[in-house]
Amino acid sequence: MKIERIEWKRLHLPLKDPFEASFGRLAKRDFLLISVHSEGETGYAESVAMPFPYYNEETTDTILYMLDAIMIPMLLKSPIERPEDVDRLFSSIRRNNMAKAALEGAVWDLYAKQQGLSLAHALGGKRKEIDVGVSVGIEPSVEDVVRKVEGFVADGYKKIKVKIKPGFDITLIEALRKRFGDSLPLMADANSAYTLDQLDLIKELDHYNLIMIEQPLAHDDIVDHARLQHQLNTPICLDESIHTAEDARRAIELGSCKIINIKIGRVGGLTEAKKIHDFCQANDVPVWCGGMLESGVGRAHNIAITSLPNFTIPGDTSASSRYWAQDIVVPEVDFLRPGILAVPDGPGIGYAINWSAVEALKVQEKSYSHTNVTI
Ligand SMILES: O=C(O)CCC(=O)c1ccccc1C(=O)O
Ligand SMILES: [Mg+2]
Mean pLDDT per 10-residue run, the chain (375 residues)?
A: 96 97 95 97 98 97 98 96 97 98 98 98 98 98 98 98 98 98 98 98 98 98 98 98 98 98 98 98 98 98 98 97 97 98 98 98 96 68
Identify the active-site residue in 163, 165, 203, 362.
163
pTM to 2 decimals? Answer: 0.97
pLDDT of 372 reads 80
d(CA 359, CA 132): 30
**Domains, the chain:** 5-116+354-369 (3.30.390.10), 121-352 (3.20.20.120)
Cα separation, 156 vs 179, in Å, equals 16
**What is the Cα–Cα distance from 88 to 346, expressed in whole angstroms?**
28
The tens digit of pLDDT for each residue in 6-47 reads 999 999 999 999 999 999 999 999 999 999 999 999 999 999
Asked if residue 115 lies in contact with residue 284, where contact means CB atoms within 8 angstroms, the answer is no
Return d(Cα 136, Cα 318) in angstroms, integer.
11
What local confidence, expressed as pLDDT, does residue 374 receive?
59
Q: Please choose from 23, 293, 313 the residue to mutate so as to test ligand 1's pocket, defined by most ligand atoms within 8 A of CB.
A: 293
Contact 199, 173 (CB under 8 A): no
pLDDT, tens digit, 9 for 90 and up, residues 220-275: 999 999 999 999 999 999 999 999 999 999 999 999 999 999 999 999 999 999 99
List the beta bridge partners of residue 261: 288
Rounded Cα distance, 323 and 14, in Å: 9
Which of 127, 129, 132, 190 lies closest to 313 in space, CA to CA? 132
Task: Count each helix (H run) and each strand (E run) in the chain, helices first.
Answer: 13, 15
Exposed, middle or buried: residue 127 (CB in 10 Å: 0-12, 13-18, 19+)?
Answer: middle
* pLDDT for 373: 75
Beta strand 340-342 pairing with 129-131: antiparallel
Going from the Cα of 171 to the center of ligand 1, the distance in angstroms, rounded, reads 22
Distance 113 CA to ligand 2 centre (A): 31
Half-sphere exposure of 277 (CA within 13 A, CB side): 25
Output phi, psi for 33, to 5 deg: -90, 120
161 is catalytic: no
163 is known as an active-site residue: yes
What ipTM was predicted for this assembly? Answer: 0.99
